Structure 1
Amino acid sequence: MSSPSHVAETPITDRNELVATLASGEKPKAQWRIGTEHEKFGFRLDDLRPPTFDGDRGIEALLNGLTRFGWAPVQEGGRTIALLRDNASVTLEPAGQLELSGAALETIHQTCVETGTHLNEVAQVAGELQLGFLGMGFQPKWRRDEMPWMPKGRYRIMRDYMPKVGSLGLDMMTRTCTVQVNLDYATEADMVKKFRVSLALQPIATALFADSPFTEGQPNGYQSYRSHIWTDTDADRTGMLDFVFEDGFGYERYVDYLLDVPMYFSYRDGVYHDASGQSFRDFMVGKLPVLPGQLPTLRDWSDHMTTAFPEVRLKKYLEMRGADGGPWNRLCALPAFWVGLLYDDAALDAAWDLVRDFSLAERHALRDGVPRHALKLPFRGGTVRDLAREAVKIAVAGLQRRAARNADGQDESHFLDVLQEIVDSGLTPADRKLALFHGDWNGTVDPVFKQFAY
């Protein structure tokens, strides 16, 4: 989840300005970039509990410790709640999950170095504080009421609102972690094609990256419980966005969708004003109850765009949001998967051919079934594993044609080796952890914090 945006305080007077904001994201192919984001759970080495914000071993102490590496602190209410460096940021999810929002980079090689550098920096400071970090999709051990809350104004508003619109929203906020990639588009038509392909294939990514099989120390019956969480978080701002596949979809239709998403807040003069459940359309005509007579700014709009949580999200770029958090190699594989599919014309065509005849019912069956069954979910006489095999094959070929090489002459396709192994074996990360739980771990999840820590 984002911190307050840094968009200018320009008043919005016309819906066309909102459409223009999305259109302004268009870039020629030579300027397409890759932005990777990932979240991870902190834990104390002695008792495995998540660290609080305060204290000598708290999350704020960790953030302040990271400033030695050139990160500039961002404060709210006099407390350090984020860091900035070289167009990247380190931010906090509601329960202190630490998120790296990477810079917009040219290659997977670069974004993977960025991720590794960040994890190394975190490990150095965390070690001094006797903390560790774990990449999974859902907190494997602790109850919701055992998770801390970070002192960010928008989270207080969301915490109060979530129980009104779903039963699992607070779990989404406090007990989930994801990895996502942000990718560019050249034109409105290019955006539409990429949006449709990535939305249809998002359940395949969810299956490949499924890594959240435990709740409160026991198997929960899911491969990706994180993905299941989103099905009962807030129907007004989540889901598969069926309208994306309708004729005539484009920037205007997405703006209309966002205008119908209820607001959370407006951030003015360092204060979060609680607008939860209120209408951005009312805001546009000066009738927002919490700020009567005031008009929204482009920053309000930018903030509002971050409060919609569909499987794929459009801002000035497309965000692929369907994967569980995981170890370093999968944090690199996720952007490689989508860059391979979407940034090569032949791969994009092949991916569209793979999904273009999926019916609405089939897309929903994939979305609804994958959280529990992942690669084993039946589909059209086969399984999701068959779709995943084909998608990975297309992505590998796309990266090979992209031919972005590192100093050793390797292209980016080797970052997909971990996904190829998952497809070949038919075993997801969740499958492997469940086998350990029932075998070497003797029915406890505690070893996960040592064996799979960064």
Structure 2
Amino acid sequence: MTTRTDTSPSPMIESRDDLIAAFAKGEKPKDRWRIGTEHEKFVYRKADHRAPSYDEPGGIRDLLKGLERFGWTPVFEGGNVIAMTGADGSISLEPAGQFELSGAPVDNLHETCAEAGRHLAQVQEVGDELGIGFLGLGLWPDKTRAELPIMPKGRYAIMLRHMPRVGSMGLDMMLRTCTIQTNLDYATEADMVQKFRTSLALQPLATALFANSPFLEGKPNGFLSYRSHIWTDTDPHRTGMLPFVFEDGFGYERYADYMLDVPMYFVFRDGKYIDAAGLSFRDFLDGKLSVLPGEKPTKADWEDHMSTAFPEVRLKSFLEMRGADGGPWSKICALPALWVGLLYDSHALDAAWDLVKNWTIDEHQALRDAVPAQGLKAAVPGYGSLRDLAREVLDIADAGLKSRARTNAIGETEQGFLQPLREIVSTGKTPADMLLDRYAKEWHGDLSKIYGAMSF
């Protein structure tokens, strides 16, 4: 989740145009489009697989501070180090100590993978000194909520209180999940709309290809992506497939209206988070927010609020692809390869949109509902299964990456980063399917083996 690293004064919102401008300012010519990749991993003690707390010796705080040797600068909240910033982006903490790199915007996938490699090497060096390991999965496979620590971040305290009021699995989302995300640019409002619609329609495909959360509290949970299932009962006001995105007239203004309808979580003032859970940003605009009577929001407040919606694709000043489970290094590189191949070449984008443009809202939702349990076996309009669609989508993404012609020092294109996904489609087995096979056969039901198999 987003960590505020800039606490400088922010101008007041003067009109509705300021809300819309938050999206319009993301417009960039194609030669300035960049790739942002975020990836989370679980942190555990190698000795006993326990999740370390923030302030215990050799815990999460010491892990953060240990990264200063690599040039990272600490970010503080309430006297606690809660994030790091540096040339490779920012490192932040999810609510139970999941460790996240929000990578810097880069030009190509070779740079993305190199960035991920630097980060993993750094955290492994510090982790080895502290007896800490890092697990690449979408869900804690063996931990109850009660076994997990809570990080000292004000926004998380507010969310932890609020989540049980609006859904049965919000605490699971916060404490027990990890994801990989890709953030991409757009040239115009029309370009944003086509990219939003195409990526939202195909988000269930990403969920299936990256499904990697089949265990809960030490046993199979009946899903391939339990992380994706969790989002179905987290908070209906701020999650889901956003049917209005596919309606005529969708654009910046319609998304702003959606965000105004999303209940608030908090307001950040004087270094502290004020609980505004369930209150209305519309009231805030009118100076009628009960926790700050008479005060009106700043542009930073609007940016904070935009970070509290969690749909399958999210719009800020860029588009966030949010459907994938956490996973190993190859998957960190494969997710942006999929979306860059589909969305950053105009011919590929048109071809991908052609695959899904005639789906109804009900068909979009039915696919989203089926994928967490069925994965690539889920039925798709006009295809036998999602696996059949996946072959065509990967071919389109491959062509898009070939057209980009971004090569590394030895002349390799970005197309190779799709290979892990091609292997999944070839076998028809998601990462979760393969883990379930190993659990039943190779591990003989001993889930502790997953730490050796899925650690970075």
Tell me, in whole angstroms, the C-alpha distance in 2 between the residues paired with 1:21 and 1:365: 32
**1:432 corresponding residue in structure 2:** 434
Q: Report if aligned partners of 1:43, 1:131 keep a CA contact under 8 Å in 2.
A: yes
**Following the alignment from structure 1 to structure 2, what is the Cα–Cα distance between the partners of residues 309 and 289?**
25
SS in 1 for 2:245: helix
Give the conservation status (yes or no) of the 8 Å contact 1:5–1:299: no
TM-score normalized with structure 2 length: 0.99
* Aligned 8 A contact 1:5 1:303 in 2: no
Q: What is the distance in 2 between the residues matched to 1:254 and 1:378?
A: 29
- Decide whether the 8 Å contact of 2:39 with 2:332 is kept in 1: yes
Contact 2:94 2:174 (C-alpha < 8 Å) held by counterparts:
yes
Is the 1:8–1:298 Cα contact (8 Å) retained in structure 2?
no
State the distance in 1 between where 2:70 and 2:47 align.
26
**Letter of the 2:336 counterpart:** P
SS, match of residue 149 in structure 1: coil
Residue 234 (structure 1) aligns with: 235
Tell me the alpha carbon deviations over residues 355-379 of structure 1, each in whole angstroms, 9 at most, x when there is no partner.
1011111100110000000001122
Match of 1:395 in 2: 397
Q: C-alpha displacement at 1:8, in angstroms? A: 4.7
Question: Given residue 319 of structure 2, which amino acid in structure 1 is its aligned partner?
Answer: L
User: Which residue is equivalent to 2:131?
Assistant: 130
Unmatched segments (≥5 aa) in structure 2: none
Secondary structure, counterpart of 2:442 in structure 1 = coil
Query: Does the 8 A contact of 1:5 with 1:302 survive in 2?
Result: no
Assess if the C-alpha contact under 8 Å between 2:5 and 2:75 holds in 1.
Answer: no
Checking the alignment, whether the CA contact within 8 Å between 2:145 and 2:175 is kept in structure 1 is yes
Q: Percent identity over the alignment?
A: 61
User: Residue 268 of structure 1 corresponds to which residue in structure 2?
Assistant: 269
Residue 440 (structure 1) shift: 1.2
TM-score (norm: length of structure 1): 0.99
| Counterparts of 1:25 and 1:260, CA distance in 2 | 22
How far, CA to CA, are the matches of 1:276 and 1:379 in structure 2? 38
Deviation of the 1:419 alpha carbon:
0.2
Paired position in structure 1 for 2:361: 360
Q: Which range moves more in the overlay, 52-61 or 412-421? A: 52-61
Cross-structure match for 1:158: 159
Asked whether the 8 Å contact 1:4–1:267 carries over to 2, the reply is no
Q: Show the counterpart of 2:388.
A: 386
Structure-1 separation of matches of 2:380 and 2:357: 15
Moved more, 391-400 or 164-173: 391-400
Deviation at 1:388, TM superposition (A): 1.2
Residues 198-277 of structure 1 correspond to what in structure 2 (within 5 A)? 198-277=199-278
Give the Cα–Cα distance (whole angstroms) in 2 for the partners of residues 446 and 358 of structure 1: 42
Q: How many residues align?
A: 454
Partner of 1:439, secondary structure, is: helix
Q: Determine if contact 1:44/1:51 at 8 Å carries over to the other structure.
A: yes
Q: Distance in 2 between matches of 1:377 and 1:9?
A: 47
Partner SS state of residue 378, structure 1: coil
* Equivalent position amino acid for 1:155 in 2: Y
- The residue number in structure 1 matching 2:443 is 441
Once the two structures are TM-superposed, the CA of residue 397 in structure 1 deviates from its matched residue by 0.8
Match of 1:410 among 404, 412, 420: 412
SS across alignment from 1:100: strand
Partner AA of 2:218 in structure 1 = G
Q: Deviations over 1:61-102 (max 9, x none)?
A: 000001110000111111111000026000000000000000
| Partner Cα separation in structure 1 for residue 446 and residue 222 of structure 2 | 16
Q: CA deviation at 1:13?
A: 2.1
Structure 1: gaps spanning 5 or more residues? none
Moved more, 49-58 or 182-191: 49-58
